[in-house]
């Protein structure tokens, strides 16, 4: 287990490094001066010169990438070209908003999805099973940003029940402002998770260890809870782990549509200003989180599933 963890950890770090190299290289693949490209057409010559120096653009490319890595290790992601503030500070100011949003979204949808999937598997071919199948397919086919638009339209504009703008002030107001965005991101996940939990429960239910538990006369509830469900949720854990990238993509739209602060809103703003250091910093941090989430979900699966633990 320890070896497996170490191996996966090293691989994750390498993947992040390759990802960063790709992003840095992209700046140089396209023709033109990166400094001019970053600053846009309105930049003064002095500003261009300063940026070129600050980003080390006057040095050879491999040196630039190495410098960037060295800076990352010191926690330095560079400076915002317009305000001169540290990019890491700007990014980490916005990060909590996005993390809270996607955590709440995935938590409520995982809870509903697992419950719905488990119920459908236990009560196959009942009306609720059929309904959950239809609703799953329906919600999966609606992209998050379309769902966000409909949430605004129905619950904020037509019914006027919930606020649609901003993140709110204070704890309670913050929660009220979180409901619609978290709903919009999570809805499709309820369907995904329900479908995968249902399929994997049906599979686990036919396995020898469940028949064994039944033969020992364990009560049904206990078999379902600790022998079927515990293993059947594992594919859902993997799905969520690899789906964090999609959650971030959805968060970009939801933050723009609901005018919330966060990484997504920061990114869109930075792209409009062509502020590449901020874009690079934000992409770097999200990529790290995504790689880390995949790693954690793999480790959780390895820990929870005794069959997989023996293999590694």
Partner 1 sequence: MSDAALPEPTLLARSLRVLSGNRTGAIGVVLVALIVGSALLAPWIVPYDPAAIMVGPRMAPPSADHWLGTDNIGRDIFSRVIAGGRIAMLVAAASLSAALTAGLALGLIAGLGPRWLDNLLLLVLDAVRSFPVIVFGLAVDTIIGPSLFTVVLVVTITSVPIYARIVRTQTLALKNAEFILAERAMGVGMPRLLFVHVLPNVLGPLLILASMDVPLVIATEAGLSFLGMGVRPPTPSWGVILNDGYNFIRNSPWPVIGGSVPIILVTLGFTFMGEALRDIFDPKLRKGG
Q: Report the interface residues with partner 1, using CB under 8 A.
A: 14-16, 18-19, 22-23, 26-27, 30, 37-38, 137, 140-143, 145-146, 149-150, 152-153, 157, 198-199, 202-203, 245-246, 248-249, 252-253, 256-257, 267-268, 270-272, 274-276, 279-280, 282-283, 286-287, 290-291, 294
DSSP codes joined into one string, 31-100: SS-HHHHHH-TT--HHHHHHHHHHTTTTS-HHHHHHHHHHHHHTT---B-TTT--BHHHHHHHHHHHHHH
Q: What are phi and psi of 66, to 5 degrees?
A: -60, -40
Question: CA 249 from chain center: how many Å?
Answer: 7
Report the residue number, 108 or 253, with the smaller CB distance to partner 1. Answer: 253
Quote the least distance from Cβ 29 to partner 1, whole Å: 8
CA distance 85 to 68: 17
Report the residue number, 205 or 218, with the smaller CB distance to partner 1. Answer: 205
Q: What are phi and psi of 133, to 5 degrees?
A: -65, -45
Report the residue number, 47 or 218, with the smaller CB distance to partner 1. Answer: 47
Quote the least distance from Cβ 234 to partner 1, whole Å: 16
Quote the least distance from Cβ 217 to partner 1, whole Å: 27
Report the residue number, 7 or 175, with the smaller CB distance to partner 1. Answer: 7
Distance in Å from the first CA to the final CA of the chain: 6
Report the residue number, 6 or 18, with the smaller CB distance to partner 1. Answer: 18
Which residue is associated with the tokens 């379902």? 224
Quote the least distance from Cβ 120 to partner 1, whole Å: 10
Quote the least distance from Cβ 285 to partner 1, whole Å: 10
Quote the least distance from Cβ 19 to partner 1, whole Å: 4
For 96-135, b/e burial (b = at least 16 CB within 10 A) is: ebbeebbebbbebbbebbbebbbbbbbeeeeeebeebbee
Quote the least distance from Cβ 216 to partner 1, whole Å: 26
For 52-63, b/e burial (b = at least 16 CB within 10 A) is: beebbbeeeeee
Tell me the longest C-alpha to C-alpha distance in the chain.
Answer: 81
For 280-289, b/e burial (b = at least 16 CB within 10 A) is: bbbbbbbbbb
Report the residue number, 14 or 107, with the smaller CB distance to partner 1. Answer: 14
Report the residue number, 176 or 245, with the smaller CB distance to partner 1. Answer: 245
């Amino acid at each position: 287990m320890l070896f497996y963890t170490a191996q996966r950890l090293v691989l994750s770090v390498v993947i992040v490094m390759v990802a960063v190299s790709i992003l840095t290289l992209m700046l140089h693949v396209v023709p033109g001066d990166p400094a001019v490209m970053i600053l846009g057409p309105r930049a003064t010559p002095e500003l261009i010169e300063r940026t070129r120096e600050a980003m080390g653009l006057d040095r050879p490319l491999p040196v630039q990438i190495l410098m960037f890595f060295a800076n990352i290790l010191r926690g330095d992601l560079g400076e915002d070209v317009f305000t001169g503030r540290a990019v890491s500070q700007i990014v980490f100011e916005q990060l909590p908003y996005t993390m809270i949003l996607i955590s709440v979204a995935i938590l409520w949808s995982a809870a509903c999805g697992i419950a719905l999937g488990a119920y459908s598997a236990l009560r196959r071919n009942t009306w609720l099973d059929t309904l959950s199948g239809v609703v799953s397919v329906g919600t999966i086919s609606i992209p998050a940003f379309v769902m966000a638009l409909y949430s605004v339209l129905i619950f904020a504009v037509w019914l006027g029940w919930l606020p649609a703008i901003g993140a709110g002030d204070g704890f309670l107001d913050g929660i009220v402002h979180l409901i619609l965005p978290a709903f919009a991101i999570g809805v499709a996940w309820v369907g995904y998770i329900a479908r995968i939990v249902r399929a994997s429960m049906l599979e686990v239910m036919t396995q020898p260890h469940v028949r064994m538990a039944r033969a020992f006369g364990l009560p049904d509830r206990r078999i379902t809870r600790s022998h079927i469900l515990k293993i059947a949720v594992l594919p859902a854990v993997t799905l969520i782990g690899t789906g964090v990238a999609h959650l971030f993509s959805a968060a970009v739209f939801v933050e723009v549509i609901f005018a919330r602060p966060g990484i997504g809103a920061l990114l869109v703003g930075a792209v409009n200003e062509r502020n590449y250091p901020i874009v690079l910093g934000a992409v770097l941090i999200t990529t790290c989180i995504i790689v880390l989430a995949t790693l954690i979900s793999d480790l959780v699966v390895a820990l929870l599933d005794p069959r997989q633990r023996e293999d590694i």
